[in-house]
Chains A and B, each alone.
Chain A
Amino acid sequence: MNTSTSNKPRMSRDSVLTLCAAVVGLALLFVFDGMFDRFTMQIFKLCAINIILALSLNLINGFTGLFSLGHAGFMAVGAYTCAILTMSPEQKEVNYVLQPIAPWLSSVYLPFLPSLLIAGLLAGFIGWLLGVISLRLRDDYLAIATLGFSEIIRVILTNASTVTNGALGLKGLPRFTTMWWAWGSAVVITLFLVLLIKSSYGRAFKSIRDNEIAAESMGIDVFGMKVLSFTISSFLAGIAGGLLAHYLTTIDPKQFIFLKTFDILLIVVLGGVGSITGSVIAAIVVTIAMEALRFLDGPLNLGFMMTNGVPGLRMVFFSALLMVVVIYRQQGLMGKSEFSWDALSRIGLLPRRGAGSPKGDK
C-alpha cells in the first residue's frame, strides 16, 4: 500500500521472508501431523480453533471498542448448526432418544464444508439481528445485553429438544476437524482479518474505538460499522463453533455457558486488546499451558506438604496471571502493535537480508 520507491527492495525481502515462513509453517504442520501422538495433535488443533475465537472476539472488543460478552452463544449456534447438518439420518435416530427430531430436519445430510459455512452464516445472521437491537447500548450495558443473549441461546438449546436433543446433547459426530481443516481455517481467517484491519474498514473500526463522536462527524456510519463488525465477528465465532463440534465429536448446552466467553477473553487480554499477532500467540500459549499445567490438578508434592489433588487449581494459575497482567502490563503481550519483518530487524533478530524464520506466516 505505502510502497514508496525507497523501500521497494525491502518489500521484496519481506515477500521472500513471508514465503519462506509459509513453507516452513506448512512443513512443520506435515512433520507434526506425522510425528506426534493423537493427544498432542488434539491440543495442536485446539490451538487453531482458539486462534479463530480469540481473533473474532478481538475484532469487536479490541478493534471496534465494543465490550461484548456473547461469544459462547455464537459458538453454540455454529456448533449445533454444523453438527445437525452433518449428521446422517441414522445417527440422528440414535441420538434423539427422548424426543424424535423434527421431521424437516431428519433427512438433512450435508457435507462438512457447506455445513460449516451455513453454521457461520446462521451465527452471523443472529449476530446481525442482535447487533441491530443491542448496539444502541454502550460499554457495560452492551456487555450485559450480550451476556444475557448467550445465556438465552443456551436455554433455548436446552429446551428445544426436537431440534437440539436438549440437555442430552449430540454424540458421535464425525471427526471432520482434521489438523488441515483446523489450521487451514485459522490461517485463512487470520489473513482475512489482517486484510480487513489494514483496509479502510479497519481504520473506520478503530476510529469508532478511539472516538465515537468524532468518527460519526467524519462521515463514518458508526451504527452500521458496529453492526458490520459484530456480524463478521459472530460469523467467525460460528465457524469456530462448527470446527469445535467436530473436534470434540460431542456437544451439549453446558459447554457453552458464559464461562466459555471468559476463556476467550482471557486470551484476548493476555495477547493484547487490539492486536492480531497478540491474539494468535496468546491463543497458542494459553491452549498449550492449559494442558501443560494439568499436573497442578493432580496430587502435588510441595516439599513441605503433599496435596492429594485439587481439581481446577490450574485455573487459579491463569487467574493469577490475569491479575498480574492487568496490574503491571495492561496492554497485554503485544499492546496494539503487530508483527512485521521490519520490527524483527529493528530489534536485531533479523539481518537486512536473511532466510525465513519459523515464526508463522503473517
Chain B
Amino acid sequence: MSSLLKTVEVNKLFGGLAAVTTLNMDVQAGEIVGLIGPNGAGKTTSFNLITGVYTPTTGSIQFEGKEIIGMKPHAITRLGVARTFQNIRLFKEMSVLDNILVAQHMRMGTNLLEATLRLPSYKNKERHIHERARALLDEVGLSQHEQDKATSLPYGKQRRLEIARALATEPKLLFLDEPAAGMNPQESVELMDFILKIRDQFNLTIVLIEHHMQVVMGVCKRMYVLDYGVTIAHGTPEEIQNDPKVIEAYLGVG
C-alpha cells in the first residue's frame, strides 16, 4: 500500500534555530497517527510545514505521491488536507452555520456572475451546501446553535465547530492540533469516540498533536515523538511508553 502522506528529510530553519530536523513521516490511508513531544518540540511547526503555512528549508513532502512543497495552503486544502488550530481560529463575527459554509466555498465551484445574479444553478449549489452544513452540524451536535455567533459558543463546542469546519472541506487527511486541550477527562473520552467515529464515517486519515496521553494512547496505533525538532522515537504506544529516550525527553535524566 502506498502512503497517503510522506515527508522525506524535511528541515525547517528559523534563522539559526532548527525548528524541525530530518522529519521523516509516513502515514498510510485510514491510520490515526499521533505526534507528541514536549512544548516547543516542533509539532505545530511540522503541521504548518505540511499544510503549506511554512515552506521547508530542505526536504520533500508528498501527498498521494504528489510533491506539495511550494503550494499555497488553500491549494493543499483543495487536494484534501484539512486542519484545526491549537489556538482556536474561528471566523468570529460570523454565525456557526456561515463558518461551515465558508469552508465549502472551494468545492462549491461557483463564479462571481452566477453568485451575484442568483442564477438557478447557484441556488442549487447553495441549497446543497446548506444541507451538507446542517448535516455536519447535526453530526457534531451543534444544530441548535446554527445562528449563534461562533465565538459565543463555550470552549468545547468551539473545538467541535472547528473540526466540523475542517470536515466541510471534504478532506482525506485531517490534522488535529491539540483537540483535547482544555477538556476534562469525561470530555476527552467523548472526543476519542468522536475521532474514531469521524474517521470511519468520512474515510479519514488523521494525524493529531496531543499532550493528553490518555487520548493519544487510546486512539493512535502509531506515533512519532519529537524533541527539539528531532524525531526521537516512533512506534506503537507500548513501544513509546517504554522507550528510554522518550522518558528522558519528558522527565529529564534521573
| Cα separation A1 to B104 with both chains bound (whole Å) | 16
Residues of A within 8 A of B82 (CB): 217-218
> By the criterion CB–CB under 8 Å, are A210 and B101 in contact?
no
- The chain A residue with its CB closest to the CB of B123 is A1
B90 at the interface (CB under 8 A from A): yes
What are the residues of chain A within 8 A of B169 when measuring CB–CB?
Answer: 218-219
Query: Chain B interface mostly helix, strand, loop or mixed?
Result: helix
- Are B115 and A214 closer than 8 Å at their CB atoms? no
> Within the assembled complex, what's the spacing in Å between the Cα atoms of A2 and B127?
8
Contact B126 A200 (CB under 8 A): yes
Q: Are B92 and A218 in contact (CB under 8 A)?
A: no
Do residues B116 and A195 form an inter-chain contact, with CB atoms below 8 A? yes
- A220-B116 in contact (CB<8A): no
CA distance A207 to B89 in the complex (A): 11
Number of interface residues of A (CB under 8 A): 29
Interface-lining segment among B11-19, B72-80, B205-213, B220-228 = B72-80
Query: A51 at interface (Cβ–Cβ under 8 A)?
Result: no
A190–chain B nearest beta-carbon distance, Å: 13
In the complex, A226 has a CB within 8 A of chain B = no
When the two chains form their complex, are residues B90 and A211 in contact, meaning their CB atoms are under 8 A apart? yes
Say yes or no: A203 contacts B98, CB within 8 Å. Answer: yes
In whole angstroms, what is the CA distance A217 to B90 when docked? Answer: 11
A213-B86 Cα distance, complex, nearest whole Å? 13
Are A336 and B91 in contact (CB-based, < 8 A)? no
Closest chain-B Cβ to A343's Cβ sits at a distance in Å of: 14
Residues on A with beta carbons closer than 8 Å to the beta carbon of B77: 216-219
Residue A204 CB within 8 A of the other chain:
yes
What 0/1 pattern do residues 264 to 302 of A give for CB contact below 8 A with B? 000000000010000000000000000000000000000
Which size class do B's interface residues fall under? 35 or more
Given contacts A2-B130, A219-B106, contact A200 B115 (CB under 8 A): yes
Q: With A and B bound together, what is the CA distance between A222 and B106 in angstroms?
A: 11
Minimal beta-carbon separation of A346 from chain B (angstroms):
14
In the complex with contacts A2-B130, A222-B74, A200-B89 CB distance below 8 A: no
| A221: chain B residues within 8 A (beta carbon) | 72, 74
The contact of A214 among B90, B112, B116, B122, by CB within 8 Å, is B90
Q: Which B residues are in CB contact (< 8 Å) with A220?
A: 74, 102, 105-106
Tell me whether B94 is interfacial, beta carbon within 8 Å. yes
**Which A-chain residue is minimally distant from B129 (CB atoms)?**
A200
Is B196's CB within 8 Å of the partner chain A?
no
Q: Do the beta carbons of B115 and A199 come within 8 Å of each other? A: yes
Per-residue 0/1 for A201-213: is the Cβ within 8 Å of any B Cβ (1 yes, 0 no)?
1011011011101
Q: How far is the CA of A195 from the CA of B103 in the complex (A)?
A: 20
- Flag whether A215 is at the interface (Cβ < 8 A): yes
Complex interface bits, B188-220 against A, C-beta within 8 A gives 1, otherwise 0: 000000000000000000000000000000000
Q: Identify the closest chain B residue to A222 (Cβ).
A: B74
Within the complex, the shortest CB–CB distance from B98 to chain A, in Å, comes to: 6
Q: Please, which residues of chain B bring their CB within 8 A of the CB of A274?
A: 93
Q: Are B94 and A210 in contact (CB under 8 A)?
A: yes
Residue of A nearest to B51 (CB): A217
Contact status A210-B116, CB under 8 Å: no
Question: A196 at interface (Cβ–Cβ under 8 A)?
Answer: yes
Residue A39 interfacial (CB < 8 Å)? no
Which of A192, A218, A221 lies at the interface centre, i.e. has the most chain B CB atoms within 10 A of its CB?
A218
- Is A48 engaged at the interface, CB distance under 8 Å to the other chain? no
B94-111 residues with Cβ-Cβ distance < 8 A to A are 94, 98, 101-108, 110
Chain B residues whose C-beta falls within 8 Å of the C-beta of A215 in the assembled complex: 91, 102
Q: Given the complex, which residues of B lie within 8 Å of A216, measured CB to CB? A: 53, 72-74, 77
Nearest-neighbor residue (CB-CB) of A221 within chain B: B74
Do A207 and B72 touch across chains, with their CB atoms under 8 A apart? no
Q: A228 at the A/B interface (Cβ < 8 Å)?
A: yes
**Interface status of B118 (Cβ within 8 A of chain A):** yes
Give the residue name and chain of the B residue nearest to A192 (CB).
Answer: B116
Kindly provide the distance from the CB of A93 to the nearest chain B CB, expressed in whole angstroms.
Answer: 42
Chain A, residues 336-360, CB within 8 Å of chain B (1/0): the string is: 1000000000000000000000000
- Whether the Cβ atoms of A336 and B89 lie closer than 8 Å is no
Q: In the bound complex, do residue A204 and residue B105 qualify as a contact, i.e. CB atoms below 8 Å apart?
A: yes
Whether A206 and B123, one on each chain, are in contact in the complex, defined by CB atoms closer than 8 angstroms, is no
- The distance in angstroms between the C-alpha atoms of A2 and B53, with both chains bound, is 35
Inter-chain contacts of B78 with A (CB < 8 A): 219
Which chain B residues border A192 with CB–CB below 8 Å?
116
- Enumerate chain A residues within 8 angstroms of B89, measured Cβ to Cβ: 211, 213-214
* B83 at interface, CB cutoff 8 A: yes
Residues of chain A within 8 A of B168, CB atoms compared:
218
Q: Which residues of B contact A336 (CB under 8 A)?
A: 93
Give B146-182 interface residues, CB cut-off 8 Å to A.
165-166, 168-169
Inter-chain contacts of B122 with A (CB < 8 A)? 199
Inter-subunit contact B94/A207 (CB<8 Å): yes
User: Is A199's CB under 8 angstroms from B116's CB?
Assistant: yes
Of A195, A210, A213, which contacts B93 at CB under 8 A?
A: A210
Beyond A192-B116, A217-B51, A223-B72, 18 additional contacts (C-beta under 8 Å) are A196-B115, A196-B116, A200-B104, A207-B91, A210-B92, A211-B91, A214-B85, A214-B91, A216-B73, A216-B77, A217-B85, A218-B105, A218-B106, A218-B168, A219-B74, A219-B103, A219-B107, A221-B72
Can you list 18 pairs linking A and B with CB atoms under 8 Å apart?
A195-B115, A196-B115, A199-B115, A199-B116, A199-B118, A201-B105, A201-B110, A201-B116, A203-B94, A204-B102, A206-B94, A211-B89, A214-B90, A217-B74, A217-B82, A217-B85, A218-B166, A219-B78
Which residue numbers of A lie inside 8 Å of B, CB to CB? 1-2, 192, 195-196, 199-201, 203-204, 206-207, 209-211, 213-223, 228, 274, 336
